Structure 1
Amino acid sequence: MSGYPREPTREDTDVIGARIGAQIIDNVLMLVIFFGAVFLYMAVGSATGSEGVFTGFGFLLGGGVALFYRFFLEGYWDGYTVGKKLFGIKVVKEDGRPCSYGASFGRNLLRIIDGMFYFAVGFIFMAMSDERQRLGDRVANTVVVREEPSRAPETQREREMEASRELSFDS
């Protein structure tokens, strides 16, 4: 797992539009997974004459997979879900380390609160945070960042290193 090459800056977390797009993609995928499992088990149940049992199992399996989709992928796939990968963003710890399963579980468990009133609660928390963190991100000490860091050097040391590189190329 790679995490992030440095501690994320405010510019690295300026990904609200990409977060919305990734959320839409991930929700569509979760619905496909959920209804795919339900319809598959309904068909099996209908063919065997045990429709109620198989349909119930389909709901449980589909719901379980949909619930653990984000938690599992963010912990396993270096902070990505399919939607995040498509939009070029990922979840990392505040210090740039990779997102762990525990951090992913915490941030996604609180998605229930962040998602209230069509994610208005999450947007309010993001607006009040320099790093644009939802409540779940704050509790889990995570941030959502661009895949690649912003090019603007943020620290004095990075500015000095950039200036020395420019001088060596000019000579």
Structure 2
Amino acid sequence: MSNSVGFWKRFLAEVLDSIIIGIPLAVIFGLITGQWEDDNISTFVVFLYTMFVPIFWYGYTVGKRMMGIRIVRVDGKKISIGTMLLRCLVAGIVYGITLGIGFIVSAFMVGLRKDHRAIHDFIAGTYVTSNKP
């Protein structure tokens, strides 16, 4: 795993995705539906974005691309829907079952481990790198 990326670059990529994708989607759905408190639809669309954009864009999301980082599989194969389901959905369930403790542990793993892999990376067999496709 060459050029694995640590906590701050990954964190900033998530912040950029939230600002560039998440907030505009929430505003658009709020304007369309008039329901500003119910963000289920925009949350679902953000989930689909997180799932599918890396599959079709070499492991990048908009935020990751801006930070020069991307998701790759440990075995070198192309990211698939199965990979992203494991990374997003299954990991999300694990984080939910542990009441967020797993998420906090993952943040420390990314910051402290030499390979910078989080729980969701281990579940999906992925890591985040600065290597270009």
Question: Aligned pair 1:23/2:8, yes or no?
Answer: no
What residue is the counterpart of 2:30 in the other structure? 38
What residue is the counterpart of 1:68 in the other structure? 48
Partners of 2:114 and 2:75 in 1: CA distance = 14
Pairwise CA distance, 1:124: 2.5
Instruction: Kindly name which structure, 1 or 2, has the bigger radius of gyration based on alpha carbons.
Output: 1
What residue is the counterpart of 1:50 in the other structure? none
SS of the residue aligned with 1:39? Answer: helix
The one-letter amino acid of 1:144's match is: V
Aligned-residue sequence identity (percent) comes to 24
SS of the residue aligned with 1:131? Answer: coil
Please, which runs of 5 or more residues in structure 2 have no aligned partner? none
Partners of 2:86 and 2:43 in 1: CA distance = 19
Aligned-residue RMSD, C-alpha = 2.7
SS of the residue aligned with 2:22? Answer: helix
SS of the residue aligned with 1:133? Answer: coil
Which of 132, 136, 145 is matched with 2:116 structurally?
A: 132
Question: Aligned pair 1:13/2:19, yes or no?
Answer: no
What residue is the counterpart of 2:76 in the other structure? 96
Q: Residues 41-77 of structure 1, C-alpha deviation per residue, up to 9 Å, x if partnerless?
A: 22xxxxxxxxxxxx49x84432320222211111221
Partners of 2:132 and 2:48 in 1: CA distance = 26
> How does the TM-score come out when normalised to structure 1?
0.63
Please, which runs of 5 or more residues in structure 1 have no aligned partner? 1-7, 43-54, 150-171
What residue is the counterpart of 1:47 in the other structure? none
Partners of 2:49 and 2:60 in 1: CA distance = 11
Partners of 1:85 and 1:19 in 2: CA distance = 11
